[in-house]
Amino acid sequence: MKINFHTFEKSNDIPADLVIEKITNFQKSKRYDFVETLNNKDYITQCTDVFANFSNINTFVQIGIGGSSLGPEMLITSLKKSDVKFYFFNNVDTDKTVKDLEEIDVKNALFYVVSKSGGTAETLAQFAIITNKLFELGYTEKDLKNHFIFATDPSKNELRKLANEFEITCLDVPPNVGGRFSVLTPVGLLPAIFAGINIKTLCSHAYSYAHDLLASDEFIQTVSKVIALYKEGVNETVLMPYSSLLRDFSFWFVQLWAESLGKKRKGERVGLTPIPGYGATDQHSQMQLFMEGPLNKLMFLVHVDKVNNQLKLSNKFTHPKLKALNKYTLKNLMDAEFFGTLKALNEQGVSHIHLELDKLDENSLSELIIFFELLTAITGHMLEIDPFDQPGVEAGKVYSFEWLDSVKGI
């Protein structure tokens, strides 16, 4: 992946030595485990074994919320090659749940229940609903092991107890890897292998790229520019890949960036607000704001050089605007919109970083994932916050259960 800078910070007094020091300290900490686990062959073996045992399914249902769904969904949308149909139960929306359950061929489906803590209320609720559906169809508790796989922390928790009780295969979510950093663990690797994605390549390339990236001048520059711009009031971060297949990557990035970097630091509120987008669609939606709105945004624009197919725009119409497209392909039009936007952003003084992928495959996607995971982690350390916790969501959980306790129920 090539990184091209087009930023307009007034000054950059962030010394490279400070960034390098933060990187070095991070590599020595247990939080670096989300990189080290990429080299854990056991996770590949576990997922491969499950795939072999359930290779006859035609539907894969991921049950999880937050990092237990956003990362896997991004992988599938970006690289899916198999004919397996995927569903993601990532919310407690009644109507959507009913609609999906009506569509799913339960007999030929595998349900993958993912909760790092093992006690996520939304996930356990969906598990209860799906098991009720199975029991209504005549399945028994003994049949659950033939339709469910779990993934959770290795320690004892609610999900682990259920797995032991009903003899359900349970994969490990690495203890020191938080949900939003877990896409390249069994959380995302199991659905990926059912989607026909080469998970060995995904992990091995990500591992080698991570070490190369952390030692590169381009990465140090990226961190330096993010922090320098933040000090000047650039506190919104736009991710805009020019690829429909990478649209869900933007939504995965939103959780990664927001949950990691929006924190209180000694009473002061700090953070960078992520904005998801994708080209060329958002040129007809958000781009007006990006071009002429406040200069408080740093944009990451992702371009994919090669596509698998070419669609010619040649046609028999004589209408001038249709005729003008005759000699081009659809990819030519996408490229024109991307590079035209880069030029316009430069003219408007909007800071942006151009990430260039040769093509969209396991190698390039793993690079993109690792780039943003490491950028998030080091940016957090530069801001002197913990990018791996999320204390701000705990109060909402407590109040939610208080509200539930006040309801009489059914």
Catalytic annotation on 284?
Answer: yes
CA–CA separation, 252 vs 259, rounded Å? 11
Residue 398, class by beta-carbon neighbours within 10 Å (0-12 exposed, 13-18 middle, 19+ buried)? exposed
> At 218, phi and psi to the nearest 5?
-65, -40
Please name the residues in contact with 18: beta carbons below 8 A apart, sequence gap of 6 or more: 382
> At 269, phi and psi to the nearest 5?
-85, 125
In 138-196, where does DSSP find H-type helix? Answer: 158-166, 186-194
Chain centroid, CA 244 distance in Å: 15
Catalytic annotation on 397?
Answer: yes
If you count DSSP H runs as helices and E runs as strands, how many of each does the chain have, helices first? 16, 12
248: number of Cβ within 10 Å: 22
Q: Which amino acid is at 395?
A: A
Q: How would DSSP label each residue in 329-398?
A: BHHHHHHHHHHHHHHHHHHHT--EEEEEEEESSHHHHHHHHHHHHHHHHHHHHHTTS-TT--GGGHHHHH
CA–CA separation, 147 vs 60, rounded Å? 10
Given 10, 28, 284, 408, the catalytic residue: 284
In 54-119, where does DSSP find H-type helix? Answer: 70-79, 94-103
Given 122, 259, 367, 373, the catalytic residue: 259
**Contact indicator for 100, 87 with CB cutoff of 8 Å:** yes
CA–CA separation, 192 vs 82, rounded Å? 10
> At 273, phi and psi to the nearest 5?
-85, 120
Residue with tokens 């005729």: 323
In 7-69, where does DSSP find H-type helix? Answer: 16-28, 33-36, 41-53
CA–CA separation, 208 vs 362, rounded Å? 13
> At 268, phi and psi to the nearest 5?
-95, 135
Catalytic annotation on 321?
Answer: no
What residues are annotated to the active site? 259, 284, 397
